[in-house]
Amino acid sequence: MVLLAGLSSACTVQNTNEPMCPVKGLDRNLTPLVLLAQSVPSAAYAPCIVDFPSGWTFAGEHLKNGSSEFWLDSDRAGFGAVTVELSATCDTSKAVEVPQEPDEPLMKRFEEPTALAPSFRGNRFYVFPGGCVTYRFAFGSGATFAQAVEVTEALSFISRAEGVKDLLTEGLILCGRSAPPCPG
């Protein structure tokens, strides 16, 4: 069975299920993560949520052919405090490349702060083969960079190759990079 071979350019999917990272021994609905990954079949990675820090909630997602995003609300940083976007490319020309964190996959990371006070705003880019993940921070007044650290610890990535392997064990096929080509 092929699971979502491709998203039509005229098709937009609104889904309220969180794109949670797969965790061994934990039964999670992987459909939202598969839909997110299929929106950019060239991407070597897809963003996902490991767990929610206290006060953070999933607010929604918008999936379409070529890019997808989901956003999180915070009781301290505000509504839509972080938007996470997966796309094939991104513009890092105004950002500064920074060293990777030890637990991050092999990818380039860029930071582009645009405001620190009275509220934190900025972009973080993760660039990798075939894709880019952008975290857009838009915190409400009084929220600090500490909330950015908190939420980014709750976000992670799944490699497309790992996702392909995991889904095959369930009899599902994820097409694109590291997998059979997507039809059409």
CATH number at residue 95: 3.40.1000
pLDDT band for position 180 (cuts 50, 70, 90): low
pLDDT at residue 183 in the model = 63
In a domain, 1, yes or no: no
Three-class secondary structure of residue 157 per DSSP: strand
Decide which of 111 and 7 is more confident. Answer: 111
How many domains would you assign to the chain? 1
Confirm whether 6 is domain-assigned: no
Please indicate, yes or no, if residue 157 is contained in any of the structural domains. yes
In a domain, 183, yes or no: no
pLDDT score of 158: 87
Structural domain includes residue 66: yes
Better pLDDT: 114 or 26: 114
What totals of helices (H) and strands (E) does the chain contain, helices first?
3, 10
Which residue range forms the structural domain that includes residue 77? 12-168
Q: Is residue 45 part of a domain?
A: yes
Which residues have C-beta within 8 Å of that of residue 91, sequence separation ≥ 6?
A: none
In SS3 terms, 38-107 reads as HHCCCCCEEEEECCCCCCEEEEEEEEECCEEEEEEEECCCEEEEEEEEEECCCCCCCCEEECCCCCCCCC
Of 181 and 70, more confident: 70
**Is residue 4 domain-resident?**
no
Residue whose token pair is 């080509």: 181
Domain membership of residue 150 (yes or no) is: yes
Read off the pLDDT of residues 53-83 as tens digits, 9 standing for 90 and up: 999 999 999 999 999 999 999 999 999 999 9
